[in-house]
């Protein structure tokens, strides 16, 4: 876990906003699925729309905080969106056959993250 935090910190220090933005977009959308303890269940039809809104918000924040041009901020926001969506399609849908990564302490065991998706964590053992 410490290595992941170090890697994220390195992205921030190096101003690598595209991969960092893609990770943030992916994490927020992941946390809004039905298998987490967060009481918001984002329907599948709204997940891409939410990712688009997050990429736009990220572009606006980048423009405000760093002073880059609107064009550069928009392009980097779109690249972050594309990286998040393509990363999900490649890693989750293809390599993991639809099985999402479990979010520590937030994923409910035995609950599917969406229609037709397998649970991220197996159900807890039945009490005997």
- For 6-23, b/e burial (b = at least 16 CB within 10 A) is eeeeeeeeeeebbbbbbb
pLDDT in tens, 67-109: 889 999 999 899 999 999 999 999 988 998 888 989 888 999 9
Domain ranges within the chain, ordered by starting residue = 17-128
Tell me the C-alpha distance between 22 and 112, whole Å.
23
Q: What is the mean pLDDT of residues 2-12?
A: 79
Least Cα distance to 56 among 79, 23, 33, 90 occurs for 79
């Amino acid at each position: 876990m410490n290595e992941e935090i170090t890697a994220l910190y390195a992205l921030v220090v190096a101003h690598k906003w595209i991969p960092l933005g893609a990770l943030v977009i992916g994490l927020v959308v992941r946390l809004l699925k039905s298998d987490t303890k967060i009481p918001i269940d984002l329907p599948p039809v709204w997940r891409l729309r939410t990712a688009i809104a997050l990429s736009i918000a990220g572009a606006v924040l980048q423009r405000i905080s760093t002073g880059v041009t609107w064009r550069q901020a928009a392009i980097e926001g779109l690249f972050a969106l594309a990286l998040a969506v393509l990363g999900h399609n490649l890693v989750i849908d293809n390599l993991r056959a639809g099985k999402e990564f479990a979010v520590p302490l937030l994923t409910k065991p035995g609950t599917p993250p969406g229609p037709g998706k397998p649970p991220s964590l197996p159900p807890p053992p039945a009490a005997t």
